[in-house]
Each structure stands twice: as structure tokens, then as C-alpha cells.
């Protein structure tokens, strides 16, 4: 799908994966994609060991090798939605991607608005533009709905807005959205049905320049499991005696 739609960054919600070693995550990496992920924490080991257990929720950000992806750690831990943030860098430019999932089975309450405001504050603390991609389960098509009005007012108070206006679910409703600062308008926003889910694929273009070559990061690190403390001490003693 990434190749068919020429996608460089793919943000997934409701991945249903349980940990980093799950087969779908490993297959993506085996096919040359970068993946950062966050599975939904298991509430009970007894339940998770059931044959019929499905770990609903979960988020992943999948990227081509033409960009550098760095996982970020926000300074707060939301409880009303699942969150995964990353810095996307290429050719000296960067942006911040935040993938978010709010379960539709949960009511929108005051804590959600407080935590979403914290997310906006966090993203606005960066000098890079940001994109929030989410299955937020707020009906943005219901312009007179109290929750939608409150959400739009909150975005406006931070100089942000959302850019999807077509239904994104089999049953209708604008539930999957793109949110950016007002000075970072995405282009070519489209909603397609790849036939893999009851939700639609929302895709757009941004102004981040892409490298023509794969982006690699070289690091040197010590193999700590082979570290011999006694040998190091003896070498230090020998050096001191020589001096």
C-alpha cells in the first residue's frame, strides 16, 4: 500500500499488535521500512492469555528509508487517548508527527480536552511544523455538536485547525483527521478506501523535502557485555606506575 499510494510516512491506529516482536511489525521491517510503535498496555495477564484475546488499540508510525525517524517522549502521559510522537527529518528540514487514537467507546470528558491541550502545547514548543494524525472519534461533520464546537474552539485558541471534510468511516462521519498549525496547511488532502478496514485512508502532501538516497545513521558504541572491569583497573594501575 505504501508503494501504491507513494506514501513516505504512514501513521496507523488500532494496530491490534501486542508488542514490538509481532509478525506484522517484523514484516514491515523485513521489507525495509522503519517502524516505531506503541502497543496498548495489557490490563490483565489473565485476560491477555485467553485464546480469544485481541489487544485493541495500538499505534505505529511506518516510514521509508528516505527520511530519518526519531521517537519523541512527551513530558506527560495521557490517559484518555493513546499517543505516539516522532520527529521526521530529511535534507536539513524536519517536522513532528503525532499519531493519536481515542477509543470511540469512551465518552469525551473534561480530562480529554485538558490532555489534548497539553499535546498542543508540547507540539508548539518545537520550531518545526507538526501534524496530528488521529482516529479521534469526534464527529467533526456535526458542526453544531457540543463536543465538536468545544474541540474546534480549543484548536482555534492554539492557532490550529483540522483539514478533513469527507467521511472517513463505513458508517459515515469525519472521525479520522489531520490537525496542523494554521501556518502549516497540508495540500492535496484526499480520502481513499484501500479495502483493508472500516476506516478510510487519509493522505496528503507536505513541504518536507525528501532525500534521493536512503538516510542512515552511524553510531559507535561499546560492547558492554564484554567489558572487563578488572582488566581496565590493571591497565590504569600500569599506566600510573609507568608515569
Per-residue pLDDT of the chain (243 residues; tens, 9 = 90+): 566 667 889 999 999 888 888 888 999 999 889 999 998 866 655 455 555 656 678 999 999 888 999 999 999 999 999 999 999 998 888 999 999 999 988 899 999 999 999 999 999 999 899 999 999 999 999 999 999 999 999 999 999 999 999 999 999 999 999 999 998 889 899 999 988 889 999 999 887 666 566 655 555 656 666 667 777 777 766 545 544
CB-based contacts of 139: which residues, under 8 Å, 6+ apart?
145, 147, 148, 173, 174, 175
Alpha-carbon 63 to chain mean position: 11
Total residues belonging to the chain? 243
Q: Report whether 82 contacts 40 (CB < 8 A).
A: yes
Assess contact for 134 and 101: CB atoms under 8 A: yes
Sort 185 into a burial class: Cβ within 10 Å, 0-12 / 13-18 / 19+.
middle
Give the per-residue pLDDT at 216: 54
The domain 71-242 is placed in CATH, from the list 3.40.630.30, 3.40.50.970, 3.10.20.740, 3.60.10.10, at: 3.60.10.10
Domain ranges of the chain: 71-242
CA distance 45 to 182: 44
Strands 201-205 and 187-192: antiparallel
Is 232 in a helix, a strand, or coil? Answer: helix
**Which residue matches cell numbers 578488572?**
230
Burial class (CB in 10 A: 0-12, 13-18, 19+), 163: middle
Give pTM, 2 decimals: 0.79
What is the C-alpha separation between 198 and 170, in angstroms, rounded?
5
| Cβ-contact 60, 20 below 8 angstroms | no
Alpha-carbon span 234 to 60, nearest angstrom: 48
Give bridge partners of residue 10 from the DSSP assignment: 62
Amino acid at each position: 500500500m505504501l508503494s501504491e499510494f507513494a506514501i513516505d510516512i504512514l501513521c496507523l491506529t488500532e494496530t491490534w499488535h501486542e508488542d514490538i516482536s509481532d509478525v506484522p511489525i517484523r514484516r514491515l521491517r523485513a521489507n525495509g521500512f522503519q517502524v516505531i510503535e506503541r502497543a496498548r498496555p495489557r490490563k490483565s495477564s489473565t485476560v491477555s492469555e485467553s485464546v480469544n484475546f485481541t489487544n485493541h488499540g495500538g499505534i505505529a508510525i511506518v516510514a521509508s528509508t528516505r527520511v530519518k525517524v526519531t521517537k519523541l517522549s512527551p513530558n506527560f502521559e495521557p490517559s484518555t487517548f493513546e499517543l505516539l510522537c516522532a520527529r521526521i527529518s530529511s535534507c536539513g528540514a524536519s517536522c513532528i508527527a503525532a499519531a493519536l487514537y481515542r477509543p470511540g467507546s469512551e465518552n469525551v470528558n473534561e480530562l480529554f480536552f485538558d490532555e489534548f491541550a497539553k499535546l498542543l502545547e508540547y507540539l508548539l514548543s518545537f520550531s518545526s511544523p507538526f501534524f496530528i494524525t488521529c482516529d479521534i472519534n469526534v464527529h467533526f461533520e456535526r458542526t453544531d455538536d457540543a463536543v465538536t464546537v468545544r474541540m474546534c474552539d480549543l484548536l482555534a485558541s492554539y492557532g490550529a485547525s483540522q483539514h478533513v471534510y469527507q467521511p472517513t468511516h463505513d458508517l459515515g462521519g469525519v472521525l479520522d483527521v489531520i490537525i496542523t498549525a494554521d501556518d502549516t496547511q497540508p495540500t492535496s488532502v484526499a480520502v481513499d478506501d484501500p479495502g483493508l478496514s472500516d476506516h478510510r485512508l487519509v493522505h496528503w502532501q507536505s513541504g518536507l523535502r525528501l532525500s534521493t538516497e536512503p538516510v542512515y545513521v552511524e553510531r559507535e558504541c561499546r560492547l558492554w557485555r564484554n567489558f572487563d572491569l578488572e582488566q581496565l583497573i590493571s591497565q590504569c594501575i600500569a599506566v600510573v606506575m609507568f608515569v
